[in-house]
């Protein structure tokens, strides 16, 4: 039901475990595969394996911030790690990070020899690299991708960032240079919060934000890329439940990647997400995941296509007598009020913005003609 063809790789499902320390060596990758992942991406492999700063990860209930998460194993060591990872089967994608085309090409060719099934260029990390993230420039991405594509025979995937003015342009450059696919999005530069008592940020410098915070950004990026470039996309950003994964796939993503959820909940979450995906598809009468892929992308409209109807809000069903004023407080047009204990909408004042329909915890309000 979940089987997916991704860049010519037969995946048993579209759930890929993203690059990160939860995939830091062969053993960890093998665990991700054993938990049911369709494929796994190594922690980003670099040539300057510096000591990592401490602390470097923080989280709250909506997501996480990390400062620098690169592999501490040199390329030479990955020969053995990939062998361990694949010892009982599984698809392993090697994530690499460097600053120049020739270096990336060298790393990619080595990892191909070591048995990697694909390469993911992770040149979009927002952490401590420079104010301008490498992957925000289409021409840089073109040069890097081209060098790597020429160096290997396996598929090359470029991981893109939201920290750019035009992600479509960067995706086009990746495709023009020969990339087989793109992943979107990497973490987004941010500061998780400030401790008011000590006047200190949660972590001592800027970092990459992940988790629920960035899911809307990931969804928009995936949609934008798929509306403009004919390239397979792996959707990333804030996936911790089956429905999140299905949202990305409904927008057209070929596969999805989960990272922060694995970090915060452990690898047990992998079969949970897969189970939720399968259950939803079954309940809705689908036989395979391909049937829903891209269905929501068709429903993305331009302003020109939107119909301007005189829709207004109404209370549906029995009159609302809840002791709650969220719709009243939330109505910027003063159209909602309480009269003799029930909630009423003034059809003359209502401008049809729709906020009350999503603010009402009981789902009592809806827009209609």
Partner 1 sequence: MNIKQIAKAAGVSVATVSRVLNHPETVAPATREKIQKIIEEEEYTPNWFAQGLNFNRTKTTGVIVPHMMTPMYMELVSGIEEVARPKGYITFLCNVERDPKMEKEYVEQLMTRKVDGIILMSSALEEKYITMIQKEKIPVVLIGESIAANRFNSVNVDCRASAVEMVAHLVEVGHRTIALLKGHDPHHETEEMSLGYQNVLRANGIPVDRKWIMDVENTIEGGYIGMKRMLAAGAPDAIFCTSDEIAYGAMEALKDSGMSIPEDVAVAGFGNNRMSNLIEPKLTTVELPYRKMGIYGARILFDLIEGETDSRDPRHILLQSRLRIRRSCGHQERIGEMF
| Residue ranges that bind partner 1, judged by CB under 8 A | 47-48, 74-76, 99-103, 106, 113, 128-131, 205-206
Whether the bond between 342 and the residue before it is cis, its omega within 30 degrees of 0, is no
Compare residues 107 and 253 and give the one whose CB is closer to partner 1: 107
What is the closest distance, in whole angstroms, from the C-beta atom of residue 161 to partner 1 in the complex? Answer: 15
- Closest approach of partner 1 to the CB of residue 101, in Å: 8
Shortest Å distance, C-beta 104 to partner 1: 10
State the nearest-atom distance from the C-beta of 63 to partner 1, in Å: 22
Nearer Cβ to partner 1, position 94 or 273?
A: 94
Q: CA torsion angle for 126, 234, 304, 173 (degrees, to 10)?
A: 60
Q: Minimum CB separation from partner 1 for residue 75, in Å?
A: 8
User: 110 vs 364, which CB is nearer to partner 1?
Assistant: 110
| Least distance to partner 1, CB of residue 46, Å | 9
- Smaller CB distance to partner 1: residue 90 or 101? 101
CA gyration radius, the chain = 23
Q: How far apart are CB 187 and partner 1 at their closest, in Å?
A: 16
Instruction: Measure the CA–CA gap between 323 and 338, rounded to whole angstroms.
Output: 10
Pick the closer one to partner 1 by CB: 39 or 188. 188
Q: What is the largest CA-CA distance in the chain?
A: 76
The residue among 74 and 288 lying less far from partner 1, judged by its C-beta, is 74
For the bound state, the minimum distance from the C-beta of residue 185 to partner 1, rounded and expressed in Å, comes to: 20
Smallest gap from residue 176 Cβ to partner 1 (A):
22
d(CA 208, CA 203): 11
Nearer to partner 1, 74 or 291 (CB): 74
Output the 3-class SS for the chain: CCCEEECCEEECCCEEECCCHHHCCHHHHHHHHHCCCCEEECCCECCCCCCCCCCCEEEECCEEEECCCCCCCCHHHHHHHHHHHCECECCEEEEECCCCHHHHHHHHHHHHHCCCCEEEECCCCCCCCCCCCHHHCHHHHHHHHHHHHHHCCCCEEEEECCCCCCHHHHHHHHHHCCCCEEEECCCEEECCCEECCCCEECCCCCEEEEEHHHHHHHHHHHHHHHHHCCCCEEEECCCCCHHHHHHHHHCCCCEEEECHHHHHHCCCHHHHHHHHHHHHHHHCCCCCHHHCCCCCHHHCCCHHHCCCCCCEEEECCCCCCCCCCHHHHHCCCCCEEEECCEEEECCCCCCCCCHHHHHCCCCCEEEEC
When the beta carbons of 150 and 357 are compared against partner 1, the nearer one is 150
Q: Which is nearer to partner 1, 106 or 213 (CB)?
A: 106
Q: Cβ closer to partner 1: 87 or 342?
A: 87
Compute the least distance from the CB of residue 100 to partner 1, in Å.
5
Residue 210 near residue 260 (C-beta atoms within 8 A) = yes
């Amino acid at each position: 039901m979940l089987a997916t063809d991704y860049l010519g790789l037969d995946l048993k499902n579209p759930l890929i475990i993203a690059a990160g320390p939860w995939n830091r060596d062969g053993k960890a990758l093998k665990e991700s595969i054993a938990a049911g992942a369709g494929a796994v991406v190594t922690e980003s492999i670099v040539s300057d394996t510096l000591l990592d700063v401490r602390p470097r990860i923080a989280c709250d209930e909506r997501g996480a911030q990390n400062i620098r998460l690169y592999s501490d194993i040199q390329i030479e060591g990955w020969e053995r790690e990939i062998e361990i990872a694949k010892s009982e089967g599984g698809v392993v994608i090697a994530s690499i990070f460097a600053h120049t085309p020739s270096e990336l090409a060298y790393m990619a060719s080595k990892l191909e020899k070591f048995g990697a099934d694909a390469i993911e260029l992770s040149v979009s990390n927002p952490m401590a690299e420079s104010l301008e993230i490498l992957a925000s420039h289409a021409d840089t991405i073109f040069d890097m991708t081209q060098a790597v594509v020429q160096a290997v025979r396996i598929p090359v995937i470029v991981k893109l960032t939201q920290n750019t003015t035009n992600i479509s342009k960067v995706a086009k450059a990746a495709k023009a240079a020969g990339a087989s696919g793109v992943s979107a999005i990497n973490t987004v530069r941010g500061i998780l919060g400030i401790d008011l008592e000590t006047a200190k940020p949660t972590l001592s410098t800027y970092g990459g934000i992940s988790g629920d915070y960035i899911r809307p950004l990931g969804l928009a990026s995936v949609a934008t890329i798929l509306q403009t470039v004919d390239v397979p996309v792996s959707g990333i950003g804030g996936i911790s439940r089956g429905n999140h994964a299905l949202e990305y796939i409904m927008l057209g993503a070929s596969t999805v990647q989960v990272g922060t959820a694995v970090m915060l909940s452990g690898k047990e979450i992998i079969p949970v997400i897969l189970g939720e995906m399968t259950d939803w598809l079954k309940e809705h009468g689908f036989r395979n995941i391909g049937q829903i892929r891209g269905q929501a992308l068709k429903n993305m409209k331009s302003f020109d296509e939107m119909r301007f109807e005189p829709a207004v809000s109404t209370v549906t069903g029995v009159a609302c007598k809840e002791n709650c004023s969220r719709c009243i407080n939330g109505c910027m047009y003063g159209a909602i009020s309480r009269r003799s204990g029930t909630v009423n909408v003034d059809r003359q004042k209502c401008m049809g913005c729709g906020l009350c329909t999503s603010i009402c915890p009981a789902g009592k309000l809806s827009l209609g003609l």
